[in-house]
Chain A
Amino acid sequence: MAKLNLQLNGRARELSVSPHQTLVDVIREGFGLTGTKKGCGTGDCGACTVLLDGKPVNSCLVLAVEADGHEVTTIEGLQSDGELRPIQKAFIEHGAAQCGFCTPGMIISAEALLRKTPNPTEEQARRAISGNLCRCTGYQKIVEAITSVKAGRGESSTENHHGD
């Protein structure tokens, strides 16, 4: 077993993990944060996407011990004071979630894009979520939701770093 220390959704957390455990399993089973989903286990579907030091990664392809000393943000870490992030609100308004299983990973990828590119084009939005497979929506309403989130619409630079 190895000691894992990380900043998880803005809080310092510690856990004993096996060296071969993946980050997705530790997030879900070790920390009980089941918002992060597991769809394939091989890095193909993107359902398990989380932010590692602000960058979106497939957490099924990351060993938990690799996150030692780093910052991890999951879907549960996006809200602040119970207030949804603009991207979450946009997903609701645009009907961008159907079964919802890909949605947390999709939102994390979209959030990562919006932090870097506050006013993305359709093409940038599509590229940002190209690693997140969705079988329900055909992506169109997801893309509409992402491109509807504009800089200055409920976003501030300090909020942008929340949870990082």
Chain B
Amino acid sequence: MATNPAYSAIGKRLPKQDSESLVTGEAKYLDDLKLPGMLYGRIFRSPHPHALIKRINTAAAESLPGVKAVITADDTEKVKFCHLPVTPNKLALNDEKVRFVGDEVAAVAAVDWETADKALGLIEVEYELLPAVFDPLEAMQPGAPQIYEDCDNNIPARIARNFGDVDKGFAEADYIFEDTYKTPLIPACSIEPHCCIASFDHLGNLTFWVSTQNPNNYQKALSQVLKIPQNRIRVIRPKVGGAFGNKSVILPMDPIAAFLAKKAGQPVKLVNSREEEFTTTRGRYAMVIQLKTGVSRDGKLLAREAKVITNNGAYNNKATGISLLTSNRIGNLYRIPNSRTEAIIVYTNTQYGGAMRGWGGPQAHFAVESQMDTIAEKLGMDPLELRLKNANQTGDTTPWGWLIASCGLSECLEQAAEKIGWQEKRNLSGLRGVGIASVLHTGSGSAGTHGAGNFSEVLLKVYSDGAVGLIVGESDIGQGSDTVLSQIASEVLGVPLNKITVASEDTNFTPPSMGTWGSKVTFISGNAVKMAAEDARLQLAAAAKRILEVGDDARFAFVDSRIHLEGSGQSIGIEEASNYCVQKFGKPVTAKAVYEPPNANPPDPKTGFGNYCPTYAFGAQAAEVEVDPETGRVKVLRIVAAHDVGKAINPLLVEGQIQGGVAQGMGYALFEGAREKDGRVVNDNFTTNKILNATEMPWMEEILVETLDPHGPFNAKGIGEPPLIATAPAIANAVYNATGVRIKELPITPDKILRELIIKREAEGCSSEKE
């Protein structure tokens, strides 16, 4: 590991720059905004999972006093849309058919919420019910109800990948393991619900306020669905109250707000109810993963095969990209010479999924890391030893073509195990135990699998008083990216943090960057900020040379807003150099930089081979649990999370990301998930779709492993998603260590454990009777 240079801003535990506005309630979120003449909109949704729309009668709703607009598909442009432009199949409002409970059919705008609610109750829709199918395994069988006419067996996509010689690998294996794992749909549960405001001016220009992590994406998508040129749509993002991937692409509510505003001639606000959040937004995809692994007697992984069946739900969104990521986690975590995966996307008459922290990683890791423990047990090996034996290492090129430029997996495993007390606690008596799991994630977004890039553009200006402004396209959604980007600029320019601001909330001004997703902002935008700041530094240095009358070989240190000539006591202020540039060079200090990773490219679309990501994030988490034998309830006593972050630019914020990720991972392990009955989500509130509260969280300990990534800005890599990925399998493995029962379907609820415990006790009872 390289040595750490002395930094002024990098590596400092600094509170987020917006902290004071958050603790005073001053920060303005979307629902805190109100425009003059603003109306309130509500959406009429299908109560049926699969039906033809025969007739819609909106007359009574329209005549209700206070109602300003009622719209159906006929009031829209009827453009089908999707996150992927190649597979659009959702209308903002459906005209012929509905495909899940909650599908959008009509909408109203009224002078207040109450009137809008009343109007919804007056809309009459006549349906012809169709047979429906909710389970993907049933939906892909011949004879199942067909959700789209042009899609045989409800399978819109199948993606196969094959690296090495899998058959040979299995033939050489001493043992072969086959297991099936299941994971549920997970709602994002941002405490702030999805919301937006649409407002047109008299020229037809749209201003659209929305709680999003990706304003540029909204501008583009709204342009397509509304048939309005992008330059006539201005997207403004207020403070975002949690997103987790879920606020990265438009929901039907967004164009609906615009169509309502157009028809009413007044601004319209839409805010999801909590019930709508649970039943109609894009959660983490439910998957069934059939995993087969061949190993040698001494614990070398020889071949792995996986079938990933993804419940796409009723419409396309991100299932193909996400399932592919599930596949490549399975093929690239650990040194496996041969792997074959098939991802199958299946339509069902259920709520459709989307991006939710982890992008296919949580599902993949639950399967792989559960099976690793099964393998270790069969081989009589310590699960930690099995992982270390197969761990990816710095400098590896995987069979899929991934170049692992920095890798702290082994250190993370060793340190997490040591801190949890692995050796002493593996054989505790009573129903207590520990488990461990690894994580591999793209530590900087991905190079794109469908033509999307992975770049960031940054504009930087140095004001006449020496303050610095950054203009970026990536939103701070609470993780503190504005602060981290400011720290990077601060380090390069020697300007203190309180003199640096970041603007990213208005598409009229921000560069067309990719937005905040995929744990990429620190790495991708951070590199762009560093490049722009270095450019500005050169411009300031040029002025300093002229002011101080020194030659071109003069060297400067930028410290405390001053430019110091090295080897002399002379210095000038940043503001002096900045003004000099305006007055003498006729050019204010501004810089523009675009960073697109030079070392990563989209993998070959046919084979999937290629370096997918400029850096890969690794980690390991260990959990200690206690299981109540009477109730089956799991109590998580402690979690140790060791993560390879390259370099922690702000350890305080890195810890916050890790702790928050672990909490979501624990929810994934033990409680969360949409439960459906006949296609209807029945747990549509926080009482029945529980997320963890403070009393249920164990003490968490973080270990930051700094591998110093060669490509990262100041050697950093991303940490947004990795922390939740290893938590569920670590807990599942700890539950097995404590009880001897293996739960292969998330969440690990008490009833599942009790059932398995009873079966186990009966089997043990039978065998002892025989003895």
Contact = CB atoms under 8 A, between A and B. Distances in A.
A33 B479 CA distance: 25
Contact of B241 (A34, A78, A100, A139): A100
Nearest to A47: B191
B192 interface: yes
Contacts of A42: 274, 685-687
B686 A44 contact: yes
Nearest to B665: A138
A127 B616 CA distance: 39
A112 B273 CA distance: 28
Nearest to A90: B23
Interface stretch (B513-521, B558-566, B656-664): B656-664
Nearest to A140: B659
A159 B98 CA distance: 59
A131 B22 contact: no
B151 to A, nearest CB: 35
Given A37-B191, A37-B241, A47-B191, A135 B27 contact: no
A141 B29 contact: no
Contact of A99 (B26, B28, B191): B191
B655 to A, nearest CB: 7
Contacts of B15: 92-93, 95
Contacts of B693: 129-133, 139
A95 B242 contact: no
A115 B19 CA distance: 23
A45 B692 CA distance: 11
B48 to A, nearest CB: 25
B25 interface: yes
A54 interface: no
Contacts of A143: 694
Which of B21, B23, B687, B699 counts the most chain A CB atoms within 10 A?
A: B23
A103 interface: yes
Contacts of B13: 95
B654 to A, nearest CB: 10
Given A95-B652, A133-B686, A140 B23 contact: no
A73 B190 CA distance: 25
Nearest to A18: B114
Given A98-B479, A126-B694, A40 B242 contact: no
A37 B192 contact: yes
A136 B19 contact: no
B313 interface: no
A117 to B, nearest CB: 15
A142 interface: yes
Contacts of B663: 135, 137-139
A88 B24 contact: yes
Nearest to A79: B24
Interface in B623-664: 652-653, 655-656, 659-664
Nearest to A38: B31
A125 B21 CA distance: 23
A35 interface: yes
A97 interface: yes
B478 interface: yes
Contact of B20 (A84, A98, A132, A140): A84
A78 B26 CA distance: 12
Contacts of B25: 33-36, 74-76, 103-104
A130 B694 contact: yes
Contacts of A91: 19, 22-23
Contact of A126 (B26, B240, B695): B695
B700 interface: yes
A97 B19 contact: yes
Q: Bin the interface of chain A by size.
A: 35 or more
Interface in A42-97: 42, 44-45, 47, 74-76, 78-79, 84, 88, 91-93, 95, 97
A38 B272 CA distance: 11
A118 interface: no
A103 B24 CA distance: 9
A137 B20 CA distance: 17
B100 interface: no
A8 interface: no
Given A37-B241, A98-B656, A134 B191 contact: yes
Contact of B22 (A74, A100, A139): A100
Contact of B274 (A35, A39, A79): A39
Nearest to A77: B25
A137 B32 contact: no
B220 to A, nearest CB: 24
A18 to B, nearest CB: 9
A137 B660 contact: yes
B23 A88 contact: yes
Nearest to A123: B695
Contacts of B19: 91-92, 95, 97
Given A35-B25, A40-B274, A133-B693, A102 B656 contact: no
A76 B27 CA distance: 11
A99 B192 contact: yes
Contacts of B188: 135
A33 B191 CA distance: 19
A34 B28 contact: yes
B489 interface: no
Query: In the complex, which of the residues B653, B663, B664, B699 has the most CB atoms of chain A within 10 Å of its own CB atom?
Result: B663
B24 A44 contact: no
B26 A136 contact: no
Contacts of A130: 693-695
17 contacts: A34-B25, A41-B274, A42-B274, A44-B274, A45-B191, A91-B22, A95-B656, A98-B479, A100-B239, A100-B478, A101-B191, A129-B693, A130-B693, A135-B188, A136-B242, A136-B478, A138-B659
Given A92-B23, A133-B691, A138-B697, 10 more contacts: A37-B29, A95-B480, A98-B480, A100-B23, A100-B241, A126-B697, A127-B694, A134-B191, A139-B663, A141-B655
